[in-house]
Structure 1
Amino acid sequence: MTSFPQDDAVAHASPAALRALIESRRAVRRFTDEAVPEAVIRDCLELAVLAPNSCNLQPWSFQVIRDPALLARLHPVCMSQNAAKAPVIIAVLARPDTWRQACQNIVDYWPEPEVPARIRSFYAKTAPFQYNQGPLGLFGLLKRQLVRLAALRKPLMRTPNSRAQMRIWAVKSTALAAENLMLAFQSHGYATCPMEGFDEVRLRKVLDIPRQALPIMLLAVGRQGEKGVYNPRLRFPLEQQVTWL
């Protein structure tokens, strides 16, 4: 991964404000019929795509569903759960297939008049070698063998070197963006519910989802309705899940 220019001044949210925002977010399963303004949705999506991501290739896309007829068709696809009655549903898609265009986008949208030579070189040579798996994944197979040999001499980044690893690569970055998206809506006073309970085959028949895109969640968005939170929050003790070394 390469480094990118940073702003000299870094803004810091207060720990108390951040804790309050995160603690206020719950998975809400009942919503009112109140519409979510497009300006709010756009603002939240802009914050979502500020999430950190691998090599800045931004392997995600979003489909915002507001049309009542389309929402009605999605409801049974989502197992007819209450959360799927929200006024907005956002399909959050991981995109392991967009890396090549993203490499070009880095150069096209570089935020300075001149693209540094190291950036051009990285996205013209290093990144394509790293993410290209070739037809039927055969180039990835070759890279795995090369990495095994080269890693005998020094530490190396060993993935992604298969189509399956590319899917994991894309999902990791997209999940970070999804968390940004949920917290952004929370800051505007709108509740969310990330839904994994849906029939992907039927979802692809209802929505125009690119073949290689991976629907990792359907995010329900709206104003929290009565009895929208079903149960008290439960998290396991930190000591069970954290090791201090």
Structure 2
Amino acid sequence: MSPEEFKKLVHSRRSVRIFSAKPVPENVVNECLNLALLAPNSSNLQPWEFHWVRSNEKKEQLIKACLSQPAASTAAELIVCVARTATWRKNAKKMLEILESQSDKVPKTAIDYYRKIVPFAYTQGYFNIFGWIKRILVFLIGFKTPVPRNPVSRNDMVTWASKTCALAAENLMLAIHAHGFDTCPMEGFDARRIHKILNLPSDSHTVMVVAVGEKAPEGVYGPRIRFERELFIKEV
């Protein structure tokens, strides 16, 4: 892919508020979801889930949970992007199994990372007790040397998983646009109702709901507005 092609893809992607009635082929959605899973993620622990809502009953409930906004009610498909803060244990175990099966090709430091560093980094303990212990430890160690200071709380874990989930959501949206369709990432929703509709575990955090479909003629509300580059890009 040339830089110009990628530039064209990024510039032409817009958040679409109204979609046409054209369906999105199932194979397109599946391929784009597969591409979402190729996004970079912390320690390859993949703390994400993508709930493609196929049931008409659940879709109607989800539209209401998204405040019945036009992007939700006119979308051909709705995908709920969920960050998980508790799946790191089983995914770390999967990584260990894979690495140990290739032990002659994998450095011992990589195996030790998943055996020792990952449990230390992500375990918070009951009532966040271990998180508080880590907070004190990194505070003291930080006087002498740089040290990772997060995650040391439930909120830190939500932030950690949400960052990874958002990276994958961007992959998803760009992939859908590359296939000739459009998206709208929605943050206006009732998270509690979404948890109930999807029967999500308690460690789940809904990052966004992505509406998918073909842009209607009136689907984009206006020109893209971005503020001055100097406000956001800093050279130090």
Same fold (TM over 0.5): yes
Describe the SS at the equivalent of 1:234: coil
Q: How does 1:103-122 map to 2 (within 5 A)?
A: 103-110=92-99, 113-114=102-103, 116=106, 117-122=108-113
Q: Distance in 2 between matches of 1:150 and 1:240?
A: 35
User: Which of 122, 125, 137 pairs up with 2:128?
Assistant: 137
Q: How does 1:16-165 map to 2 (within 5 A)?
A: 16-85=4-73, 86-110=75-99, 113-114=102-103, 116=106, 117-165=108-156
CA 1:108 to 1:46, structure 2 compared with 1: closer, same or farther past 3 Å?
farther
Q: CA RMSD in A?
A: 1.6
CA 1:81 to 1:111, structure 2 compared with 1: closer, same or farther past 3 Å?
farther
* TM-score, normalised by the number of residues in structure 2: 0.94
AA partner of residue 85 (structure 2)? P
Query: Which consecutive residues of structure 1, in runs of 5 or more, have no partner in the other structure?
Result: 1-12
Query: Which consecutive residues of structure 2, in runs of 5 or more, have no partner in the other structure?
Result: none
Describe the SS at the equivalent of 1:161: coil
AA partner of residue 44 (structure 1)? C
Please state how far the C-alpha of 1:214 moved relative to its aligned partner.
0.3
Q: Distance in 1 between matches of 2:20 and 2:45?
A: 36
Tell whether 2:170 aligns with 1:179.
yes
Q: Distance in 2 between matches of 1:29 and 1:17?
A: 25
AA partner of residue 79 (structure 1)? L
Please state how far the C-alpha of 1:81 moved relative to its aligned partner.
0.6
Q: Which residue in 1 is equivalent to 2:228?
A: 237
**Deviation sequence 1:81-102 (CA, Å, 0-9, x none):** 1111212100000111111111
Identity value in percent: 43
* TM-score, normalised by the number of residues in structure 1: 0.90
Please state how far the C-alpha of 1:226 moved relative to its aligned partner.
2.6
Please state how far the C-alpha of 1:127 moved relative to its aligned partner.
0.7
Describe the SS at the equivalent of 2:23: coil
Q: Distance in 1 between matches of 2:99 and 2:175?
A: 26
Alignment length, in residue pairs? 233
Describe the SS at the equivalent of 1:203: helix
Please state how far the C-alpha of 1:112 moved relative to its aligned partner.
7.3
